[in-house]
Amino acid sequence: MTAFVLVLTVGVLVLAGLTLDGGLALAAKVKANGQAEAAARAGAQAIDLNAYRISGTLRLTPSQAVANAHSYLGAVGVSGTVTVSDDTVTVTVTSAQETQLLGLVGISSLSVHGDGSAHAQRGVTDVSLGFANSEVDSDGNSSGGGR
């Protein structure tokens, strides 16, 4: 009976560890994805303004894009790899999630990866002056249809 209880207790602890630590790893992955996506967006802001102003060509300054992405990653306290290809910045973040219960069976941490990419894009090109439940005349004045 004692061996049965011991095996059952270990089994329950392992299942609880998988549940708890698996959930923590999933949350860490979501966080890493968000950090990678935000870093990629920061990098995608490094537009070559001279080329854009002269010819309207939208392209990135690769060294500045990498620097912007690394700067963001440093600000949030993680490290990662940054690559720039044409107008796309891709960031991969890798971190370790410390385990709570799986450490009892020798698994002290789980590796978590997050990926994100962003590309340079032109700003607003068309503005709609319409508002819900109202009409706008050619001068941009609302007639207040919803009041």
Q: Which amino acid is at 102?
A: L
Dig out the tokens for 70 from the structure: 């690394």
Beta-bridge mates of residue 82 = 91
In sequence order, the 6+-apart residues with CB closer than 8 A to the CB of 3 are none
Burial of 140 (C-beta count, 10 Å sphere; 0-12/13-18/19+): exposed
Q: Over range 63-84, report the average pLDDT.
A: 95
| Confidence at residue 147, expressed as pLDDT on a 0 to 100 scale | 44
Dig out the tokens for 59 from the structure: 């392209």
In sequence order, the 6+-apart residues with CB closer than 8 A to the CB of 25 are 97, 110, 112
Q: 18-22, 78-82, 93-97, 137-141: which has the minimum mean pLDDT?
A: 137-141
Q: If pLDDT is split at 50, 70 and 90, which confidence band does 11 have? A: confident
The 3-state DSSP class for residue 42 equals helix
Q: If pLDDT is split at 50, 70 and 90, which confidence band does 46 have? A: very high
Which residue did the predictor score with more confidence, 77 or 102?
A: 77
Q: Over range 129-141, report the average pLDDT.
A: 56
